[in-house]
Amino acid sequence: MLVVTLAAMLAGCTPAGTDHRAVFAVFGTEVELQLRETNREQAQVAFTEVGAVLRDLHRELHPWEDGELMSLNRALDAGEAYETSPNIVALITGSQSLEKTTEGAFNPAIGTLVNLWGFHTSSYPITAPPPAPDQLDKLLEPFPSTLDLSVDGLEVRSANPAVRLDFSGIAKGLAVRRVCEVLAGLEIGAAMVNAGGDVLVCSVRDRPWRVAIRAPGGGVLETLEIERPLAVFTSGNYYRFGEFDGERYAHILDPATGRPVDEIMQVTVIDPDPIVADAGATALVVAGTDRWRRIAEALEIEDGIVIDLNGSVSRLDKGAVTGR
């Protein structure tokens, strides 16, 4: 659940220490910020400013609670123009480019479909029956797409009232980018932000950061040593799911069919751009075994690890995890 309360704490540091950590309860997960080579006073300032940014983004981008995104969706549903925030405009324009590049595998305009499947919730697993095929077909008929949106400054319109935006597949990418921007402005030494297992290394100085890639079902698949700013995002079709009458279905939907995907179990994308890493991880899960490599190349992803439903592991092998 995307919780409204925000918590932060310093842990394991002394007044003379230069390593500090804070944890923020936002975006339905724990966002952990680690700082190195930073004094205690600098860390306190950084944690306060980062906390405010995360709290604002949480409220602004929540896909099913009142906030800026919900206000925009209500206006689009009514066929009205709406003046929204710079962050949402950035996500819309970025999503339009990503939707084209991924052949539609990434499409955050399908919020109505996500809601129909019951995935606008924080309580998993879902035990209600899945939607009937005719319900899905009815929602797919107008085929909502981010390309139906037009943006003029901060004003957004839609040529398709079926568009309902849900940025769950890209919001964490924007959030960790904003965190690193705050830290850069404060001239923090070395920093890494971990949003529920999705990581952005903001800066590196004397020591590389160690980032663990989770394995499907738990444990560690691989540990990376990262020596430059880099994002590591993972998406899987088993983290959140519905289960009814002995059948299990993933929370990641194929925008083309309106149905859950089932060919790829997990994707990790490694790239300097956290928004590409976030959206790309989801898109490659949706792309399936036939298209994922083509879409990864179109996105110009530096590196990626793909695990199919049978447990076979494939990799782009472009050397992104080195310091080069």
Low-confidence ranges of the chain (pLDDT < 70): 1-16, 121-126, 238-248, 317-324
CB 5 within 8 A of CB 150: no
Q: What is the pLDDT of residue 125?
A: 66
Q: What is the pLDDT of residue 246?
A: 59
| Tokens, residue 160 | 């398709």
Q: What is the pLDDT of residue 236?
A: 86
CB 296 within 8 A of CB 316: yes
Fold held by 68-158? T-fold (1.10.3980)
Element holding 166 (H helix, E strand): none
Nearest by Cα to 72 from 81, 151, 109, 64: 81
Q: What is the pLDDT of residue 323?
A: 38
Summarize pLDDT for 256-272 with one digit per residue, the tens. Answer: 999 999 899 999 999 99
For the chain, the average pLDDT equals: 88
* % helix, strand, coil for the chain, step of 5: 35, 25, 40
Q: What is the pLDDT of residue 202?
A: 97
Summarize pLDDT for 172-196 with one digit per residue, the tens. Answer: 999 999 999 999 999 898 999 999 9
Counting every residue written for the chain, the total comes to 324
- Domain residue spans in the chain? 68-158
Q: What is the pLDDT of residue 248?
A: 66
Q: What is the pLDDT of residue 218?
A: 81
